[in-house]
Amino acid sequence: MDTISVADARKAEAVGKAVRLRGWVRTRRDSKGGFSFVELNDGSCQGNVQVVAPGELPNYEAVVKHLHTGASIAVEGEVKASPAKGQATEVLASKLELVGDADAEAYPLQKKGHSFEFLRTIAHLRPRTNTFGAVARLRHRASKTIHDFFDERGFFYVHTPVITASDCEGAGALFRVSTIDPDSPPKAEGKVDYTKDFFGRPAYLTVSGQLQVEGFACALGKVYTFGPTFRAENSNTPRHLAEFWMIEPEMAFYDLSDNMDLAEAFLKRIIADSLDKCGEDLKFFAERVDKEIIGRLEGVRDKPFLRVSYTEAVDILAKSGKTWEFPVAWGNDLQSEHERFLTEQHFKSPVILYDYPRTLKPFYMRVNDDGRTVRAMDVLVPGVGEIIGGSQREERLDVLEGRMREQGLDPHAYDWYLDLRRYGTVPHSGFGLGLERTVLFLSGMANIRDVIPFPRTPGNAEF
RNA sequence: UCCCCGAUAGCUCAAUGGUAGAGCAACCGGCUGUUAACCGGUUUGUUGUAGGUUCGAGUCCUACUCGGGGAGCCA
């Protein structure tokens, strides 16, 4: 007798096999005929397998009739073609063993739907729900595709450090990493003496692996990072986390146009794989979460991404006839309302905006010949907004040092980074993709806290 | 961090300043294959916390906590 997954047991090919199944009870329905239907789920797929538990089972009255949502069971029996609608197969149990009971009075999950807000308070149990099972499988699939995509194209996966001493990477507030006793820190001249700290200097959790991975791009050619990223911003929105996962490819000899080509192919591949391999989960999202999701994904997969310069975008916004809460003028940063208008209303398509004013973007982005703009790009998608941010990097030593001073940074603090320009500098480009924003886009889920297993946000590090 | 809204049974929600309720869940019973099964019955409360106004507060006021939506920061 083989132990098989619920996913396999639901396939018509399984009919006739004697099998063992193990998982958790979703619901039990007692039939008029003196037997019970038990919906069994083991997480292998969205759907449950219907176990038919005959009244003749020796533990029928004592155990089966008291099975509740959440209990774990092991079933032995034969897979049969199901005579009723709703499923191709069912399992006629010859043995049903209770592995672990779930006290029905106390177990918080019921067979009815729960609000996502409530489920967030039981994040350790919510993967047992339809929605969070689907999110977990989709997130896995996206992660797998990301590694496949880069591997197929000759990229190398580089593990950049989680702890960094660069305290001014320009990507948001940092979490400090320290072993100093906060109640009695060592002091020098009235201030905390970080030379006595673990690393002999202030250290932080990374906000980006980009600067480090540039060093590997300028050696291995095409590389990417994929790891956790930390931002200590006090952001309270459905699109921000204090701890999230980011993918950052970096390519030597790529200009901005190559970079945009890669970003577009990359997103399309993630979407295509999700549609191909997570069909049952996406169907669930379409039924319960976002009716438009599959059509929107197919649209982004099939339509070319429009490429619009910042200057053109400002022109379109200014001539739109809309009244904006934030004024549109060349040199002002584009606000959410502007980005949303462009991708959701004006173009109704994914859009790549590029060539932003130099004053709006960090020092490492390459200055254009016009002197006013830099080779930045943002990929905007309907529903989520900015999903990718990237740029061609400034490869000219003198210009890069000038940009650092322009933004009040001391070039000496980036000496190792500048070495990449001193010795064998090359044009290169890269971008960052937020994994959770990608899963938001793929699933149609509304809140980023519901697409990461255990969300960390201001005031919340539960579980 | 700013603006707006909210917090009542295990869950989702009702309740003109005047005796806190329903549906679901759970429990008991019924029902010849059910599909969030169905039908009948039973149980369930420090109305987020702390103050205040009032003869009387779930309801009005203040502060705080937590949650949601929007904005900023960004991925």
CA of A114 to C1' of B38 (A): 22
Q: pLDDT, tens digit, for every residue of A174-183?
A: 899 999 998 8
User: What's the confidence (pLDDT) of residue A23?
Assistant: 95
Please name the fold of domain A2-100: OB fold (Dihydrolipoamide Acetyltransferase, E2P) (2.40.50)
Q: pLDDT, tens digit, for every residue of A29-56?
A: 888 778 899 999 999 999 999 999 998 8
In chain A, list all ranges with CATH 2.40.50.140: 2-100
pLDDT reading at A391 higher than 70: yes
The whole-angstrom separation of Cα A259 and Cα A219 is: 18
User: Would you call A255 exposed, middle or buried from its count of C-beta atoms within 10 A (0-12, 13-18, 19+)?
Assistant: middle
In chain A, list all ranges with CATH 3.30.930.10: 128-172+207-450
CA of A118 to C1' of B14 (A): 20
User: What's the confidence (pLDDT) of residue A255?
Assistant: 97
Q: What is the mean pLDDT of chain A?
A: 92
| Nearest nucleic acid nucleotide to A378, CA to C1' distance | B75
CA of A117 to C1' of B57 (A): 29
- Strand B nucleotides within 7 Å of a protein CB: 1-2, 10-13, 24-27, 30-38, 65-75
Kindly report the three-state secondary structure assignment for every residue of A79-114: EEECCCCCCCEEEEEEEEEEEECCCCCCCCCCCCCC
pLDDT reading at A409 higher than 60: yes
pLDDT bucket at A167, cuts 50 / 70 / 90: low
CA of A134 to C1' of B24 (A): 24
User: What's the confidence (pLDDT) of residue A169?
Assistant: 54
* Residues A73-99 as b or e (16 or more Cβ within 10 Å = b): bebbbbbbebeeeeebbbbebeebebe
Number of Cβ within a 10 Å radius of residue A234? 11
Mean pLDDT confidence for A397-406: 95
Q: Does the A128-172+207-450 domain belong in CATH 3.40.50.970?
A: no
CA of A65 to C1' of B30 (A): 15
| Nearest nucleic acid nucleotide to A120, CA to C1' distance | B67
User: What's the confidence (pLDDT) of residue A112?
Assistant: 76
CA of A122 to C1' of B15 (A): 30
pLDDT bucket at A284, cuts 50 / 70 / 90: very high
| Nearest nucleic acid nucleotide to A246, CA to C1' distance | B75
| Nearest nucleic acid nucleotide to A207, CA to C1' distance | B75
CA distances in angstroms from A214 to A13, A199, A302, A317, A388, listed in the order given: 50, 23, 32, 35, 18
Mean pLDDT confidence for A415-421: 96
